[in-house]
């Protein structure tokens, strides 16, 4: 492999790693922001906060009221794009709304398309095509590992006194383990496919070689 081709393959592999990681992060957030998960994660937090209210106001925050509050906020028709809503909305519940979920889901599809394009380019650059699934699978597995620590890394930049951000962070990445296993298993399948094709190819070459040797012996 020439220097230029090898360098380009290395650069594309790094870009694919970043693209896979971005896709995994966006998929984690969009999956975590499904209504059922938001209700499960945030409902108890709101009820816990209501304990600091007086008896009259606390009575308003029963289980049914909390569920209705979350449902109305989640499915609300926000008349703004994501970043404008983020700047103008007075309630942080927008961050765990269907609009936010759809935004991150859209980003996942964009990063997936970029990843597929990079995978295609890498296929044409790899000289031995049987190495292609092994390379792509290995990159996919490596890109999944940071998903297990992404919540902890981001929490380092959140001041301890702003506990509400930590609560939302727990919701955003509650499905990180699930996405990790999806990427990890897909990566293993690709690596296994690559080695399987290599083994099959070696067996095929071996049979062709043996057949040629037998033909030579017959001619003698």
pLDDT digits (tens, 9 = 90+) for 89-135: 767 778 888 999 999 999 999 999 999 999 999 999 998 888 899 99
pLDDT at position 86, please? 76
Q: How many folded domains does the chain comprise? A: 1
The rounded distance, in Å, linking the Cα atoms of 154 and 118 is 28
pLDDT at position 161, please? 46
Q: How many CB atoms lie within 10 A of CB 97?
A: 23
pLDDT at position 80, please? 82
Please return the burial class of 215, using the count of CB atoms within 10 Å of its CB with bins 0-12, 13-18 and 19+: exposed
Q: How many residues does the chain have?
A: 220
Please return the burial class of 154, using the count of CB atoms within 10 Å of its CB with bins 0-12, 13-18 and 19+: middle
Q: Residue 76: which domain range?
A: 3-219
Q: Kindly report the pTM of this predicted structure.
A: 0.81
Q: What parts of the chain have a pLDDT lower than 50? A: 161-162, 204-205, 210, 212
Here the tokens at position 219 are: 């001619």
pLDDT at position 88, please? 80
How far, in Å, are 22, 74, 78, 167 from residue 42 at the CA level? Answer: 25, 12, 20, 8
pLDDT at position 205, please? 45
Q: How many CB atoms lie within 10 A of CB 190?
A: 21
């Amino acid at each position: 492999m020439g220097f230029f081709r090898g360098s380009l393959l290395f650069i594309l592999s790094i870009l694919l790693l970043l693209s896979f990681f971005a896709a995994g992060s966006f998929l984690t957030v969009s999956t975590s922001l499904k209504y059922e998960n938001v209700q499960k994660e945030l409902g108890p937090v709101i009820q816990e906060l209501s304990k600091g209210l007086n008896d009259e106001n606390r009575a308003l925050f029963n289980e049914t009221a909390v569920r209705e509050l979350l449902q109305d906020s989640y499915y609300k028709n926000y008349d703004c794009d994501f970043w404008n809503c983020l700047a103008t909305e007075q309630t942080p519940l927008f961050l765990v709304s269907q609009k936010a979920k759809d935004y991150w889901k859209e980003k996942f599809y964009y990063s997936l398309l970029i990843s597929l394009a990079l995978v295609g380019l890498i296929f044409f650059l790899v000289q031995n095509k049987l190495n292609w699934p092994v390379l792509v699978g290995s990159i996919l597995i490596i890109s999944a590992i940071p998903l297990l620590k992404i919540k902890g890394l981001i929490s380092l930049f959140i001041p301890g006194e702003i506990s509400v951000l930590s609560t939302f962070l727990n919701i955003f990445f509650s499905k990180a383990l699930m996405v990790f296993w999806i990427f990890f298993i897909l990566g293993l399948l690709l690596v296994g496919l690559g080695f399987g094709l290599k083994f099959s190819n070696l067996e095929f070459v071996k049979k062709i070689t043996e057949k040629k040797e037998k033909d030579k012996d017959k001619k003698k």
